[in-house]
Structure 1
Amino acid sequence: MKNEINIGLLGFGTVGSGVAKIMHGHQQDLQHKLGVQVSIKKVLVKDITKSRDTELASEIFTNNLEEVLNDPSIDLIIEVMGGTNGARDAIERALLAGKGVVTANKDVMAEYGQELLQLADEMKCDLFYEASVGGGIPLIRTMEDGLASDRISALTGIVNGTTNFILTKMKHENMTYEDALAEATRLGFAEADPSADVDGIDAARKMVILASLAFSTEVQLDDVFVRGLKEIQNGDLELADGFGYTVKLAGSAEKDEDGIAVAVEPVLFPNSHPLASVNNEYNAVYIYGDAVGETMLYGPGAGSLPTATSVTADIVAACRNLLLGMNGKRLHSPQHERKVKSDGKRFARYFHRILVKDEVGVLTKLTAIYSNHGASLATVVQHPDKKESGAELVFITHRMSRQQHLDVMEELNQTPEVLEVLSHYRVEGEK
C-alpha cells in the first residue's frame, strides 16, 4: 500500500495558490482522512523567477510541463492553468500517462468533457471536475452521488457570479449597468474583458456540464440557447419588480420524452422563488428530481479559497481511489442518445414589453396577433410612455411554446402600429 501520494500542480494563479494554501494549512486533516501524506511535488508556472507568497519550496516550481507529466513519482495531476487548448492537451497527456486528473476548467469540460471522460475510462484513471461549476458549491458530487438514485427532470440556476453581482447592484442600489460592471471589475468579480460573462457564454459552458451529467447524455455548446445581459433594457428591472418579479441571468435545463432543452438568458423569477433572493456574487442551482422533489444548492460561485475547496475535495476523492485501487472504476459513457427539443416543444410563460402608437384599436389588433398564433394573455397592462409619443403595453402570456413566442415576436415587429418591441423575457417558476 502507498505511504505517500505526490501531486503535480499545473498553474499557480488564483485557484492554484488557493489549493496550495489549503493543502499546507490542512495537512494534518488530510493525513487523518487518508492515512497517508499528500504532497505537492511539482508546480508548473510560466515564470519561475516571479516572487510568490507561498509556503512551497522554490525548487519545486518549473516552467517545463514534461518535468511534471514524466515524473514517475507523481500520482495525480491538478489542472488549474485555465485556457482551452494547452489545458486540454495537458489533461489528455496526463491520462495517457496513467495519471488521474483533477481540473477546475469549465471551458475544457464543456467543449471536450465527453471525449476526455471516455479516455479516462479507457485508461482506468479518474477525471474529477467539481470546481468547473459553482466554485465552492458541491454540485457535481451531489448530482453524481447524492442524487444517484433519483431521476433529475430539470434544473435551473444562477451559475455566473459576475452577472448576478451586476443585476443585484442595478436592482438594489439603482446602479447603471456600466457602473455595476465597473464595481464588479474593481472587486475582482469581473475580468478585464467581461464579454464571456455578460454575454452568457460562461454560464452556457457550465450548463453544458450540468445538463450532460444530470441527464446522462451528451450536450453540446451549440445546443444551448443564449441571451446575455445586453438584452436588458432601461426600466426593465423596475417594471418587473412592479409585477412581483426579479430579473436574473439564469441557466435552465429540462428533459422529457421530447428530448432536452438547455438555455441561458435573463429570466423573470417571482419574488417568492428562492432564486430571486440569491444576490451579489453567490450562485445557486435549483434541482427538480422525480423522487426528491425540489432542492437547492447555494454558495460562493467563485474566488480563490471556495473554488480551491472543491478542487481539494476532488483531490481527496482521487487519493482515496488510488489507495483502494478503485481509480477509474466510475464509467462516464452517456446512457441516453442526444436529442434536442425543437422550439415547438419548449414551453414557458413570457413577458413582453411593447411600445405602440397611441391610437384607438391598437390593443385589439395586438391581442388578435397572439390569438392567431394560439397564445393567450394572462396579464395586459397599458400606460402612457413619458418619453415617446406612444403608449407602452406589457403582456404576460399563459404557457406557450417558444416557437409561438418567436412567431408572435416576428409579427409584432412587422406590425405598423408597433413602434418597438422593447424587451421580452421567459417567466420562470409559474405554470
Structure 2
Amino acid sequence: MIEDREPVRVALLGCGTVGTEVLRLLRERPAEFAARTGAPVEVTGVAVRRPHKHPDVPEHLITTDAHALVEGDVDLVVELVGGIEPARSLLLAALRSGKSVVTANKALLAEYGSELFAAADESGVDIYFEASVAGAIPLLRPLRESLAGDRINRVMGIVNGTTNYILSAMDASGSTYSEALEEAGELGYAEADPTADVDGFDAAAKAAILASLAFHTRVTATDVHREGIAGVSAGDIAAAQGLDRSVKLLSICERVVDDDGTEAVSARVHPAMIPKSHPLAGVNGAFNAVFVEAESAGQLMFYGQGAGGSPTASAVLGDLVAVARNLVESGKGPRESAHAQLPVQSMGSTPTRYHISLDVEDKPGVLSQVASTFNEHDVSISVVRQEGRGEDASLVVVTHVAPDSALRSTVDAIARLSVVRDVVSVMRVEGESS
C-alpha cells in the first residue's frame, strides 16, 4: 500500500507567490501526489526570512534557519528563493548531503549550473529545473530528454512576459515605450524595478540555459549577447508594421559555423523584426513561446503562460513528482550533458540582418553614396526604399545576412556621410530567409 511506504520528505525554501501555491497544492491533494510518486509526499519545513508575513503556513513548518532545514532529515529540497546567494550555498549543501533538488532559479543556473550539476553527480542525486524557463510551458524536459537523440540547430523564442507585453502594447496602440511600461506596471506585469526584464538580463539567463541544453555545451549568462528594449521607439514599431513585421525581444540560440569551418554556439538576446507570418509574431501580451528547429523532428513550437504563481507552480510540482518517483524507485533523472563543449561565438562574428532607417538629404547621389558604403564593407542590400521629400526625405535599407561586426561598422560609416542627417533606427531582422 502506498500510504504504508516511507514518505518523501520535502523542504521548501521560500514561500512567496510560487511557494505558497506549491505548498497549498501539496497539502490539499496528498492522495493525488502519493499516487503519482508511489509514496506519500510530506513537507517537513518551510524556510522564510519573515515568518509573520506567512500567516497561512502552519507554524510548526516555519523556520528561519534554511541551512539547518536542508541539512536535516529531508529527501528533496525545493528552492524558490531566487538570486545567487544564499540559494547557491543552500543548494550545494543540500546536494552534497545527498538531497535531490528542484529549483526555479534561472539566474543561479545560468551562472553556476555546472557547479550544481557536478555536486549532484558526486552525490548521485537529481537536480530538476523546468520552472526556470517559460513557467508552465514544458520546454526544458523535451530539450533534455525527448530530443536527446536529435540534433537541434536553433532555439528562438519569447521568454520574458514583461517585455512582450510592452512591445505588444506599443504595436497595438501606437504608444511609446514609457507609456507601455507604465501600463505594464499598473497591471502587475512589470516589477517596481523592471531592469532585469527590460534590459534583457532575465531573457539572457534563460537563453544560457536553453543553449546549454540544446547544444550540450556549458553556456553562462555572461556568454550571451544582451540588448534590452528601452531603445525601441514608436517609429521602430511603425516601420516594422509598414513591412508587415512585428518587433519582439528574442532569445536566439543557434548552432553556427565559423569562417574556418569550426562549429560553435551563438547565444543572444535583442529586439528584432520578424514577419507577421512567423508563429512567434502572433504571441502577444505576457505569453511566452519558443520555436525549436531540429534535424529530424523539424520545427516545434512551445507556447503558454511563462510566469505567474500557478503556472510556475505547475512546473515546480511536475519536477517534484519526477524526482520523488526517482527516489521511490531508486532511479535517477538525466544528468548534465556538456559533451560537445562547443566554443561560444562572439556577437561580432554572428551572422545577422539589419533594418536601417536613415534621415537623408533630398538630392541626387544620396542612394549611390549609401550603397557604395555598404559595398565597401562587403554587405549586400536586400531591400531599399526611399520615401518623402525635402526635410522629410528618408531611406530604408534591409540587408542580406552578414557578420554583425560588418553590419555595425557599415552603420557607423553611413552615419558619417554628409548626406545622412541621422541614423533614425537600426534593428535586426529574424525569422525569414536571407
Query: How does the TM-score come out when normalised to structure 2?
Result: 0.94
Residue type of the alignment partner of 1:314: D
Residue number in structure 1 paired with 2:204 = 204
- CA-to-partner distance for each residue in 1:343-398, whole Å, 9 max, x for gaps? 5642232211111222321111001111222222121112227xx93522110112
State the SS of the aligned residue for 1:49: helix
1:219 to 1:70, Cα distance in 2 relative to 1, 3 A? closer
SS in 2 for 1:409: helix
**1:263-412 → structure 2 map (5 Å cutoff):** 263-327=268-332, 330-343=334-347, 345-384=349-388, 389=391, 391-412=393-414
Percent identity (aligned): 39
For residues 107 and 231 of structure 1, the distance between their equivalents in structure 2, rounded to whole angstroms, comes to 24
| Counterpart residue type for residue 351 of structure 2 | F
Q: 5 Å matches for 1:77-96?
A: 77-96=77-96
Q: Which residue of 1 aligns with 2:260?
A: none
**1:179 positional shift:** 2.2
Residues 343 and 250 from structure 1, CA distance in 2 versus in 1: closer, same or farther, beyond 3 angstroms?
closer
Q: How far did residue 80 of structure 1 move? A: 0.1
Alpha carbons 1:283, 1:299 under 8 Å: kept:
yes
Q: In the alignment, which residue of structure 2 is the partner of 1:48? A: 51
User: Hey, what's the Cα distance between the residues in 2 that align with 1:79 and 1:222?
Assistant: 23
Give how far 1:425 is off.
Answer: 1.6
- Counterparts of 1:293 and 1:112 in 2: how far apart (Å)? 31
- Please give the root-mean-square deviation of Cα atoms over the aligned residues, in Å: 1.7
Contact 2:177 2:232 in 1 (8 A): no
Shift of 1:413: 2.2
Shift in Å, 1:265:
0.5
User: Which runs of structure 2 are paired with 1:85-234 in the superposition (5 Å)?
Assistant: 85-234=85-234
How big is each residue's C-alpha offset from its partner over 1:306-361, in whole Å with a ceiling of 9 and x where there is no partner?
0010000000011011011123x633151112412245642232211111222321
1:17-51 alpha-carbon deviations (Å, 9 max, x no partner): 11112222332221121221101110001112234
Q: Is the 8 A contact 2:102 2:316 kept in 1?
A: yes
Q: 1:344 to 1:86 in 2, by over 3 A?
A: closer
Change (3 A) 1:343 1:104: closer
Partner of 1:66: 67
- Cα gap change, 1:303 to 1:344, in 2 (>3 Å): closer
How far residue 151 of structure 1 moved from its aligned partner, in angstroms, is 0.8
Residues 145 and 334, structure 2, Cα contact 8 Å, conserved in 1: no
Moved more, 369-378 or 277-286: 369-378
> In the alignment, which residue of structure 1 is the partner of 2:423?
421
Q: Do the aligned residues in 2 keep the contact of 1:22 with 1:309 (CA within 8 Å)?
A: no
**Distance in 1, Cα, partners of 2:131 & 2:144:** 14
| Greater Cα offset, 36-45 or 253-262 | 253-262
Q: Which residue identity lines up with residue 225 of structure 2 in the other structure? A: F
Question: Are positions 1:39 and 2:53 aligned together?
Answer: no
Matched residue, 1:261: 266
| Contact kept in structure 2, 1:98 and 1:124, CA below 8 Å | yes
- 1:17 aligns with 20
After superposition, give the CA deviation of every residue in 1:68-101 in whole Å (9 maximum; x if it has no partner): 12322x1100000112121111111111111111
Q: Which amino acid aligns with 2:63?
A: T
2:396 and 2:31 map into 1 onto residues whose CA distance is: 60
- Runs (4+) off by over 6 Å: none
- Structure 2: distance between partners of 1:22 and 1:180: 35
* Higher mean displacement: 166-175 or 274-283: 166-175
Q: Does 1:252 align with 2:252?
A: yes
List per-residue Cα deviations over 1:279-302 (Å, max 9, x = no partner). Answer: 000000000001001001001010
The question of whether the paired residues in 1 share the 8 Å contact of 2:80 and 2:104 is answered with yes
Does structure 1 conserve the Cα–Cα contact (< 8 Å) formed by 2:135 and 2:308?
yes
**How far, CA to CA, are the matches of 2:53 and 2:346 in structure 1?**
52
Q: Distance in 2 between matches of 1:208 and 1:340?
A: 11
CA distance change for structure 1 residues 410 and 326 in 2, over 3 Å: closer, same or farther? same
- Tell whether the 8 Å contact from 1:349 to 1:430 is kept in structure 2 after alignment: no
SS at structure 2 position matched to 1:235: helix
Displacement after TM superposition at 1:415 (Å) = 1.9
